[in-house]
Amino acid sequence: MVLAVEWVESPQPRIRLLDQTVLPAQETHLDITTVDGLVAAIQSLAVRGAPALGAAGALGVVVAMNQASRDGWDESRLQAEVDRIRLARPTAVNLAWGVDQVRGAMTQGADQVLILARGVVTDDEAANRELSRLGADWILERTGLERVRVVTHCNTGALATSAWGTAYGIIHELHDRDRLGLVYADETRPLLQGSRLTSWELTQDGIEHVVQVDGAAPSTILRGLVDVAIIGADRIVANGDTANKVGSVSLALACARAGIPFVVAAPSSTVDLATATGDDIDIEQRDPEEVVNFGGRRTAPEGAVGFNPAFDVTPHDLISAVVTERGVVEPANTPHPTLLARIAG
């Protein structure tokens, strides 16, 4: 199975990242031994996807502690460097969550922090496998179909997690149960996580799919070509509002109009009960150049300025189900400010 984030002990302790900026053309790895290297990998999306960022954040604290020993940082410098990892991207709550899972053990030494960080990685895989079973059960019961045709957005597979995947995990689970129809994978502008990464994973797993431009998705839904939309999440807040890759909300609006379920799948580490509503989520604004260039060439006229929010927020009343490893809640049916507490970590 593909591993996006690994800890490697020798010859030098390091995080080993599968470099997702160059997939699927090249399968190369990055060796991360410094905080600068990790922050650059996170911000360039060499490592990406909310749960994978949580794993990188937790292991990143070990990297920071090792670098502190090598470079002679004092405690305040070390804490500042850990904060730099924690804040490297703002929207996926898992990054800060992963750092916070291990930070309290820093006084006990790097070995203890590494044990906890490895726990973050293994717990994530277990959560993803469980939520995939629960999500597949819910979808099959709700649709009553023999085979379910799916649309998904961005990449939520093993590449975006410690292993297995979230929304992708449900798709995989439906495939394993021989209950999956055609999958429509949105290409996911501007960085093409859908066409580069999801299609690569679907191909490796032998799952029949097509890649469509993001703008096709609402029409695919309204034409009755799919039975359910399944997406991942970067932050699910207390009222159920959900941040995910920009373009997700167009699927949700179309699903509501078509009367088909819109399902959000994420480990409970993505649930942020401390944030009340989607209005309070910090949406990452990325480099405008990502929008006005394509394939290394400028496509918009000189002087045109890109607008590049990396995520959008789907209001909870458009979300049929939020699936975590702790269960399923239905925000559109049962809106309640504390609904998510049932399935939070």
d(CA 114, CA 55): 11
Q: Which stretch binds ligand MRU (CB under 6 A): 29-37, 47-55, 209-217, 314-322?
A: 47-55
Handedness of CA 6, 81, 269, 173 (dihedral sign): negative
Q: Does 92 bind ligand MRU (CB under 6 A)?
A: yes
26 known member of a binding site: no
d(CA 336, CA 251): 23
89 is in an annotated binding site: yes
User: Under 8 Å CB-to-CB from 225, ≥6 apart: which residues?
Assistant: 149, 184
Tell me the helices (H) and strands (E) count for the chain, helix number first: 10, 16
| 237 lines the binding site for ligand MRU (CB under 6 A) | no
**Binding of ligand MRU at residue 310 (CB under 6 A)?**
yes
Binding status of residue 315 toward ligand MRU by CB under 6 A: no
Residue 152 contacts ligand MRU per CB under 6 A? no
234 is catalytic: yes
Which string of x and - marks every residue 175-194 that binds ligand MRU (by CB under 6 A)? Answer: ------------------x-
Report the nearest approach of ligand MRU to the CB of residue 176 (Å): 18
Biggest distance spanned by C-alpha atoms of the chain:
62
Q: Name the 3-class secondary structure at 323.
A: strand
> Does residue number 49 form part of the binding site for ligand MRU (CB under 6 A)?
yes
By CB under 6 A, residue 291 contacts ligand MRU: no
Distance from C-alpha of 48 to C-alpha of 89, rounded to nearest angstrom:
10
244 among the known binding-site residues? yes
For 247, list phi and psi in degrees, rounded to 5: 110, -20
* Contact present, 98 and 109 (Cβ < 8 Å): no
**Contact between 249 and ligand MRU (CB under 6 A)?**
no
Give the binding site for ligand MRU (CB under 6 A).
45, 48-51, 92, 154, 156, 160-161, 166, 193, 232-234, 244-245, 310
Which residues form the catalytic set? 234
